[in-house]
Chain A
Amino acid sequence: MVSLEDLKKEVKKILEEGKVKYVIGYKRGTNSSLPIPAFIRSAEDVEKLIWDPSCIHNLSRYLVDEKRSKAREKKPDERPVGLIVKGCDSRAINVLLQEKFINRDDVFLIGVSCEHAGVLDEKKLNKKLKGKEAKNIEFSKNDNFVITTEEAKIEIPVKEMLAERCLECKANYPVVYDVFLGEKVSKKLDDPFKSIEKIEAIPREEKWAFWKKQLDKCIRCYACRSVCPMCYCDECVIDTINFAVTADTTADEKAQKIKWVEKSPAFSENFVYHFVRAIHLAGRCIDCGECERVCPLDIPIRLLNKKLEKEAKELFNYEAGFDSDQPSLVSCFKDEDPEDFIR
């Protein structure tokens, strides 16, 4: 695990040099075991920073908000934003760069390697703690999580507590960065798509029953869309507001405007929403797992994205987030693309 002191030193340095506008990192939250995002603007605030296996969030989402607020300012501060990125977060940056949503000099990336493990899973942690709050979470020497609560100190093997995505992580070190902390540890991954192979193997009607049950739960809060660093479109096809209603718009026009998805959380509509989301993330999702983490109804959204990640790899040998110069998956083609399904 990268030491917090190294991280603080690095953040302090760039803030004092005035290289960055501010740095986005993690600080201790007030009412749960998990940290919250911290916006560090001055060198004194650096002390707030923390770095431990509970730093789950993908902070690259804030670049989307940053770009929007910058566009509104009259005299924007042109300095880059500092960002603490893990391996998965850095891949998100790569996709944003690939799509020219941000420029490389808009961000100053402090890459931290996850080294031997990754981050923990919030739900698994809460289950283990049974309502108690963790005061401190760290790695022990023998690669266990050590969780300190008010009463006790619990030691849990990494495998039991690690987030699902970390168990299937292809590169647990940043692939794009300005400063790199820690060391690159490449681990051998036996089965990168283990979670979805389970579903692929079951018979069709059971698959259907599984997804029907899962997607039926959706209340369409759109938390998954709000948290996703790739869902940055100004207008979303799911919203029915992307139709300019002016004083001249007739009732007839309003009635006939195209509405792809109804707002009601009926199964058929939920299905279209999640399907469209998955398709839009094909070849872009970098598997940060945020959509699944924020889902208040525990829908395994990640499994949809992971499926398309697998197909992209198997059919087109494409992996998102490793190269910001490659053409995007659905805007390029090869003559030898598979077409065995076409009559």
Chain B
Amino acid sequence: MGDEFEPKLVAFLCKWCSSAGSDLAGVSRMEYPSNVVPITVMCSGSVSPLYILDAFNKGADGVLVSGCHPGDCHYIKGNYYARRRIAFVKKLLEYIGLEPQRFQMSWISAAEGTKYTQIIKDFVKELKSLGPQTKLRREQ
């Protein structure tokens, strides 16, 4: 302990599905890494690309955006908008030369506590093998 790299993962979870999914994981006492910093947003469609960049800028090693499954959005179509927008962010980050594994998107419903823990476990494992994210981090 101590020497191993512990990545910091910022997760933007929509209030109605993904955040409830993470709650379910919590109340069901499922185990998952504590590297994740969950941030509840009202909808995955409200996640501005700036949030994502800012997370990287302030030192996140990975960013996850998660929303309701298509068709399940509380606001009917917010996640469809998110899907388009996030696709651009992802493509552009890859084009710049950031590791594509560092930025991911997922659909997690309120009932999918297990899926949430699994995604976080996989994500943290990938980040550990990638090492710290230094490319976009603001120099102090």
Interfacial residues, chain A to chain B (CB-CB below 8 A): 196, 199-200, 204-212, 237, 260, 262, 266-269, 271-272, 275-276, 278-279, 282, 304, 307-308, 311-312, 315-316, 329-331, 333, 335, 337-339, 341-343
Contacts and interface: CB of A to CB of B under 8 A. Distances in A.
B92 A304 contact: yes
A341 B57 contact: no
Interface in B39-98: 49-50, 53-54, 57, 70, 77, 80-81, 83-92, 94-98
Interface of B: 49-50, 53-54, 57, 70, 77, 80-81, 83-92, 94-99, 104-107, 119, 135-139
Contact of A307 (B54, B87, B92): B92
A276 B49 contact: yes
A268 B106 contact: no
Nearest to B108: A343
B136 A279 contact: no
Given A268-B137, A341-B105, A200 B95 contact: yes
23 contacts: A199-B95, A207-B95, A208-B135, A211-B96, A211-B97, A237-B50, A266-B138, A268-B137, A271-B136, A275-B49, A279-B85, A304-B95, A308-B91, A308-B92, A311-B88, A330-B81, A333-B84, A337-B83, A337-B87, A341-B105, A342-B105, A343-B104, A343-B107
A223 to B, nearest CB: 21
Nearest to B123: A343
Nearest to B106: A343
Query: Binding site of A, secondary structure by majority: helix, strand, loop or mixed?
Result: helix
A212 B53 CA distance: 16
Given A211-B96, A311-B91, A315-B87, 18 more contacts: A199-B95, A208-B97, A208-B135, A260-B54, A267-B139, A268-B137, A269-B138, A271-B96, A271-B136, A276-B49, A279-B49, A279-B85, A307-B91, A308-B92, A330-B81, A337-B83, A341-B90, A343-B119
Nearest to B105: A342
A200 B100 CA distance: 14
A62 to B, nearest CB: 29
A282 B92 CA distance: 11
Contacts of A212: 97, 135
A275 B87 contact: no
